Amino acid sequence: MKWLEHLKTINRHKKYVMELCFKLGLYKQGLLHDMSKYSPTEFIVGAKYYQGTRSPNNAEREDKGYTSAWLHHKGRNKHHLEYWIDYSLDEGHEMTGMKMPLKYVVEMFCDRVAASKNYRGEAYKDSDAYEYYMKSKEHLLIHPDTAKLLESMLLYLKNNGEEKTLRYIKKNILSKKTY
């Protein structure tokens, strides 16, 4: 019953994100995070390719050469940097990452931490989300300011732990309303 295990994985991920967002005062984002994962377009594909140790999107991508679930998901969820890729106004750059609103960068941080907790389970360490980001950051189309903020939060988590990091984000990042 891969569909049931996939549902449990989604629910656990949403729970982790909700807990983190609530601690940061992002209640609406915590409640509405990743609701598109329950849509048939994403859920059916996710259940089909479910493995439990990584995103089913990777398995669909390996099988088909693309992932319909991810294409649907990233276009509906503003906490994904891919949502913010657009045509550049700069000559010589066709596509670029746009600067993300602060609340979505913080939700992206929560999403990455929750994904690490979800897939690493008992082996989770506060450095996991940072290390995963560092492995992939070179190929990302992300605005430099957004990348700098996300990386700084992930590094702060790696070096200081979750509770101290959440206090820091709430006091020093979210309170400023901009970056």
Query: How many distinct structural domains can be found in the chain?
Result: 1
Please indicate, yes or no, if residue 71 is contained in any of the structural domains: no
Please indicate, yes or no, if residue 122 is contained in any of the structural domains: yes
Q: What integer pLDDT is reported at residue 168 of this predicted model?
A: 98
Q: How many residues does the chain have?
A: 179
Please indicate, yes or no, if residue 151 is contained in any of the structural domains: yes
Please indicate, yes or no, if residue 19 is contained in any of the structural domains: no
Between CA 144 and CA 99 the distance in angstroms is 8
149: three-class secondary structure by DSSP: helix
Please indicate, yes or no, if residue 94 is contained in any of the structural domains: yes
pLDDT band of 53, cuts 50, 70, 90: confident
Closest CA to 22 of 110, 126, 150, 113: 110
Q: Which amino acid is at 107?
A: E
User: CA triplet 88, 130, 134: central angle to 5 degrees?
Assistant: 55
Q: What integer pLDDT is reported at residue 91 of this predicted model?
A: 82
Please indicate, yes or no, if residue 124 is contained in any of the structural domains: yes
Please indicate, yes or no, if residue 123 is contained in any of the structural domains: yes
pLDDT at 93 over 80: no
pLDDT in tens, 70-92: 999 999 999 999 999 999 988 87
| Structural domain span for residue 165 | 78-176
Half-sphere CA count of 40, side-chain side, radius 13 A: 0
Q: What integer pLDDT is reported at residue 177 of this predicted model?
A: 86
Between CA 173 and CA 179 the distance in angstroms is 8
C-alpha pair distances (Å), 21 with each of 12, 108, 149? 14, 10, 17
Whether this prediction's pTM lies above 0.75 is answered by yes
Q: What integer pLDDT is reported at residue 131 of this predicted model?
A: 97
Residues 6+ apart with CB under 8 A from 122: none
Between CA 168 and CA 109 the distance in angstroms is 13
Q: Which amino acid is at 168?
A: Y
